[in-house]
Structure 1
Amino acid sequence: MSGKIEARLAELGITLPKAATPVANYVPYVVTGNLVFISGQGPMGPDGVAYAGKLGSDFDVEEGKAAARLTALNVIAQLKNAVDGDLDRVKRMVKLLGFVNSTPDFNQQPFVINGASDLMVEIFGDAGKHARSAVSAPSLPVDIAVEVEAIFEIG
């Protein structure tokens, strides 16, 4: 399907990854009414986990932002499945929750998760602006550096 958002992705040189299969007993997204809830996604690349480790010891803020951006692409891949391939159905992004696998003294979580937030605005424009939380976690599944979940309003 080709629309305004697909054209924007092409303009940005972005190819969405294949949506990840759940690794446990959950579904990748739930559509209820006009909302889509995307389950937590990680920085998965074509060869598996692209960023494994902790911010503050293994990665700096810029590397963390790159991990969050990749993770946001995985969120959008799930979203595309949820809207049957038509990303133009997205009216707005409502909420983004970002978890940062970090050392106890690391306090730059908001700047790391900006990697995901910035991408949402690049792709969806004003409709990509959202409420957000960015929190630290002492560990994340399979040692991923970041995890992002999201809520979108669709039409």
Structure 2
Amino acid sequence: MTDFDTRLADLGLSLPDAPAPAANYVPFVQSGAMLYVSGQICQDENGLILGKLGADLDTAAGAKAAERCALSLLAQVRAACGGDLSKLKRVVKLTGFVNSTPDFTEQPKVVNGASDLMVALLGDAGRHARSAVSAASLPLGVAVEIEGIFELS
């Protein structure tokens, strides 16, 4: 078991299968050592995590939704690496979109759910640049969508 797998298990989490694209795009594109992963929407074992932050969900629930996006991002990285996550050198940047009301201002705290998980699982290699922005709506009514840029060895 790798350090990554041990940390994942210690957190009581597992990587899902890499979600299939829902429209006319690919889940990831590799250019040289850089891997660009398409936006991953929040879903868990019960299905899509729906709702609007500031109306239907609180910040803590939004952070859990962002954590689920991070797991899907890592599942896409694993797929891009042929199942070998040891090829992941670092997380470069995450861009988080939070389905939120006009007066909701805690988008960064929501996206921390993904950022905190990346650092917990990958240590310093999980530290990244980031944006956390509000969206009036997201595909299928989900609460959070996050895209990522990763460096591979």
Q: TM-score, normalised by structure 2?
A: 0.96
| Match of residue 48 from structure 1 | 47
- TM-superposed CA distance for 1:9, in Å, is 2.0
Q: CA deviation at 1:47?
A: 3.8
Q: Which residue of 2 aligns with 1:121?
A: 119
- 1:144 aligns to 2:152 (yes or no): no
Which residue of structure 1 lines up, in the alignment, with residue 20 of structure 2? 21
8 A contact 1:4–1:88 mirrored in 2: no
| Runs (5+) with no aligned partner, structure 1 | none
Task: Please list, as runs of the form range in 1=range in 2, the aligned pairs for 1:28-47 lying within 5 A after superposition.
Answer: 28-47=27-46
AA paired with 1:86?
A: D
In the other structure, the counterpart of 2:103 is: 105
- Cα distance in 2 between the residues matched to 1:13 and 1:56: 28
Residue 8 of structure 1 aligns with an amino acid whose one-letter code is R
Q: Distance in 2 between matches of 1:129 and 1:88?
A: 16
* Matches of 1:43 and 1:123, distance apart in 2: 19
d(CA) in 2 for partners of 1:52, 1:108: 17
1:94 to partner: Cα distance: 0.3
Moved more, 82-91 or 8-17: 8-17
Shift of 1:32: 1.1
SS of residue matched to 2:73: helix
SS in 2 for 1:132: strand
How big is the shift at 1:90? 1.0
Q: Structure 1 vs Structure 2: percent identity of aligned residues?
A: 55
**1:4-15 matches, cutoff 5 A:** 4-15=3-14
| Counterpart-to-counterpart distance in 2, 1:57 and 1:11 | 33
One-letter amino acid matched to 1:65:
A
- The aligned counterpart of 1:95 is 93
SS of equivalent residue, structure 2 residue 92: strand
Q: CA deviation at 1:5?
A: 2.1
TM-score normalised by the chain length of structure 1: 0.94
Amino acid at match of 2:109: F
**CA deviation digits over 1:30-52, x for unaligned, max 9?**
11100111100011223420x21
Number of residue pairs aligned between Structure 1 and Structure 2: 153
